[in-house]
């Protein structure tokens, strides 16, 4: 079991590949569709995802795709389940298993991610049907009094329980503590908060004896708040890597960053800056949602859902992003 986890986690972050996060819940995807004047039905969502996943050559740069339960249960036009379709195209199927961020009792409007009820049997079922990795996203906000200690602890604890359950089912956990970018805070504040949050997450992961080479960390990039003072990609890259080095053990299989609502160019520039830093203890790659999908979705909407043009747009984003990754032999030097 451990060997399989380590192999799959390694494959997820193997150069020159990253992960495509296509696990927006149906309500979230509906919002994105509506913003582009697209109708959202189970059939149009299926068509959108099949268009993306069948892009020729995607598997050369994408190791795995995170699916939402609806897509996991759907079939392609050729009648294959989406997990089987991904495997046939050289990509690992992943599944979002949390049930969303809900109000945290005792906090001032903070959130805790739920989904632990019945998670063990759900993971066994997903594994049987092809899932080889999973994702759980915790959400933390920054302001004068946030994130609170209880919010950090509650989310770290849930992430660790989820990660251990995944590994017991042969599934690689993506551990995703996302610190939202909203706010007027500066880069140093995000750095401090991220250090505290990640340290709490790794404390809990260690308590639950999660196998670190059999997991992937998916943090947010360390950026200033959206209305705070600006920072260059180089500053963001250096501060992010410095923070991860402080708290992320070298034995973690890899770091796959989320894009968090940054423009696609900015997310790629920040990822490039991190990859330019020498002697990284782990591969640093992408697990982007919006930074890979926003532009193709515009093309899909404006072209009357033209498959080829949409796929060309996705491949532009994917190749531009993968091209900034540092070759494996330069990692760990």
Residues 240-279, one symbol each (x = binds ligand 13P by CB under 6 A, - = not), give: ------------------xxx-------------------
How many residues interact with ligand 13P (rule CB under 6 A)?
10
Catalytic, out of 176, 178, 235, 298: 176
Quick check: 288 binds ligand 13P (CB under 6 A)?
yes
Q: Which residue has the tokens 């296509």?
A: 22
Quote the crossing angle between the two packed helices 307-322 and 290-302, to the nearest 10°. Answer: 160
Q: Is 102 a catalytic residue?
A: no
Sorted by sequence, the CB contacts under 8 Å of residue 79 that are 6+ apart come out as none
Taking the least distance from each CB to ligand 13P, the nearer of 18 and 83 is 18
Applying CB under 6 A, which of residues 8, 15, 290, 326 lies at the interface with ligand 13P?
Answer: 290
Q: Which residue has the tokens 């003072």?
A: 229
Residue nearest to ligand 13P (CB): 289
Least distance from ligand 13P to the Cβ atom of residue 9, Å: 17
Q: Are 112 and 85 in contact (CB under 8 A)?
A: no
Quick check: 137 binds ligand 13P (CB under 6 A)?
yes
Where are the strands (E) in the chain, listed by range? 18-22, 62-67, 92-96, 101-103, 111-113, 133-140, 172-179, 216-217, 254-257, 284-288
Applying CB under 6 A, which of residues 86, 217, 291, 325 lies at the interface with ligand 13P?
Answer: 291
Rounded to an integer, what distance in angstroms lies between the CA atom of residue 130 and that of residue 92?
9
Q: Are 201 and 246 in contact (CB under 8 A)?
A: no
Catalytic, out of 135, 164, 218, 238: 218
Rounded to an integer, what distance in angstroms lies between the CA atom of residue 32 and that of residue 40?
9
Least distance from ligand 13P to the Cβ atom of residue 278, Å: 26
Element housing 112 (H / E) = strand 111-113
Site for ligand 13P in 172-211 (CB under 6 A): 176
Q: Which residues are part of the catalytic machinery?
A: 176, 218
Residues in contact with ligand 13P by CB under 6 A are 21, 137, 176, 258-260, 288-291
């Amino acid at each position: 079991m451990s060997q399989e986890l380590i192999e799959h986690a390694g494959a997820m972050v193997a150069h020159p590949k990253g992960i495509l996060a296509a696990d927006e819940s149906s309500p979230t995807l509906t919002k994105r569709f509506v913003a582009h004047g697209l109708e959202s039905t189970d059939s149009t969502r299926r068509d959108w995802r099949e268009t993306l996943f069948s892009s020729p050559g995607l598997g050369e740069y994408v190791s795995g795709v995170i699916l939402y339960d609806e897509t996991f249960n759907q079939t392609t036009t050729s009648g294959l389940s989406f997990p089987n379709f991904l495997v046939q195209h050289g990509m690992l199927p992943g599944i979002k298993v949390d049930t969303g961020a809900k109000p945290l009792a005792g906090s001032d409007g903070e959130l805790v991610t739920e989904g632990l009820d019945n998670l063990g049997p759900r993971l066994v079922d997903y594994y049987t049907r092809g899932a080889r990795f999973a994702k759980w996203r915790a959400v933390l906000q920054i302001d004068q009094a946030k994130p609170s200690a209880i919010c950090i602890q509650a989310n770290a604890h849930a992430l660790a329980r989820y990660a251990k359950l995944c590994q017991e089912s042969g599934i690689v956990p993506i551990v995703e503590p996302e610190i939202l970018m909203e706010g007027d805070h500066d880069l140093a504040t995000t750095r401090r908060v991220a250090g505290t949050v990640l340290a709490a997450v790794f404390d809990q992961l260690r308590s639950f004896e999660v196998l670190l080479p059999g997991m992937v960390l998916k943090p947010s990039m360390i950026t200033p708040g959206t209305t705070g003072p600006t920072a260059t990609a180089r500053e963001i890259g250096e501060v992010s890597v410095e923070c991860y080095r402080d708290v992320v053990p070298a034995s973690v299989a890899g770091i796959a960053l989320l894009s968090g609502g940054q423009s696609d160019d900015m997310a790629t520039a920040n990822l490039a800056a991190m990859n330019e830093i020498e002697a990284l203890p782990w591969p640093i790659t992408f697990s982007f949602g919006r930074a890979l999908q926003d532009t193709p979705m515009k093309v899909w909407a404006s072209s009357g859902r033209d498959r080829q043009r949409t796929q060309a747009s996705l491949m532009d984003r994917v190749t531009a992003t993968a091209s900034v990754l540092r070759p494996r032999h330069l990692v760990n030097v």
